[in-house]
Structure 1
Amino acid sequence: MVIRSTEVIEAVSILSEQSGLQASMSQSLKGGLITGGVASFAALLLGPAGFALGGTVGGILATFVTKDKFVPVSQVLCEMEPRQKEMLYQSLNNFVTSLDATDAMQLVALIQGNEILKRNILNALTAFMRDNMNYHVYNSW
């Protein structure tokens, strides 16, 4: 049975929300630069112990600077242009063509029941967002 692209995107959105996937455009680099800069400065002042102290302080500072800059992947999926949604559907189509589902909820249930399939779909989603949309995706799975 052919599953509509909107149903696949909705199912992937639900899966990404359940998995806690977060996306960021450039906050990782900013956080790394803040942490590295503070650690280097502290090392200049305090010597080798400054790396440890500066890394800790820099990491805490970077956390506050980049806080709330991450958005759920499900939100990014909702805001995607139709052309991007179609490209995502094409990249996920190999995983879902053999599944017998008529709507997004059935599709989610089938995917949730197969951990390997779920991981493959989430990996494909992460790769798509990285390669085609320049997002960094972070997960808790």
Structure 2
Amino acid sequence: MPIVVSDIMKLLCSVSQESKMKAAVKHSGRGALVTGAVAFVGGLMGGPPGLAVGGAVGGLLGAWMTSGQLKPVPQILMELPPAEQQKLFNEATAIIRHLDWTDAVQLTTLVMGSEALKHQLMAMLVNYITKELQAEIQYDD
């Protein structure tokens, strides 16, 4: 049976939801834009000293804007573009390729019944989120 990307994404959502994974997504591009804009305005208004002050204020504002925006990992996974979902699909299918299943519900049941498979998928997800998305993982208790 052909494996469907949406089935794997549902599985990964279930695995991450069970452990209540959240990620602090950093919007570094937006922070850099704010920093540059405030530094530019400071430079226009106050010359070189205004540029220095604008850069410092903009840096602080940019850092504040981008820190600690927690989102549930299932939400992040479902919002990924198709190319990124395909990357996750490829990594997950390498872990579960030996399972025999017919739909997403059966696949999820099989994986949730195996601590080893859950652990492997969680490790793969944590690695992907921290390396590819540059986000920090947090767990709710």
Q: TM-score, normalised by structure 2?
A: 0.65
Could you tell me which runs of 5 or more consecutive residues in structure 2 were left unpaired when the two chains were aligned: 28-66
Q: Distance in 1 between matches of 2:103 and 2:133?
A: 26
Matched residue, 1:101: 101
Percent identity of equivalent pairs? 25
Letter in 2 for 1:117: L
TM-aligned CA distance change 1:100 to 1:10, over 3 Å: same
Q: What residue number does 1:25 align with?
A: 25
Q: How many residues align?
A: 102
Question: Could you say what the CA RMSD is over the residues aligned between the two structures, in angstroms?
Answer: 2.1
- Residue 3 (structure 1) aligned with residue 3 (structure 2): yes
Q: Distance in 1 between matches of 2:26 and 2:76?
A: 15
Q: Is the 8 A contact 2:9 2:85 kept in 1?
A: yes
Q: Give, as a single letter, the amino acid of the residue that structure 1 aligns with 2:6.
A: T
Secondary structure of the structure 1 residue equivalent to 2:137: strand
| Deviation, structure 1 residue 104 | 1.4
CA contact (8 A) 1:11 1:104 kept: yes
Q: For residues 46-57 of structure 1, what are the structure 2 equivalents within 5 Å?
A: none
Confirm or deny: 8 A CA contact 1:3 1:102 kept in the other structure: no
Q: How does 1:34-53 map to 2 (within 5 A)?
A: none
TM-score w.r.t. structure 1 length?
0.65
1:140 Cα deviation from its structure 2 partner:
5.3
Q: 5 Å matches for 1:126-141?
A: 126-139=126-139
Unaligned runs of at least 5 residues, structure 1: 28-65
Distance in 2 (alpha carbons) for counterparts of 1:133 and 1:70: 13
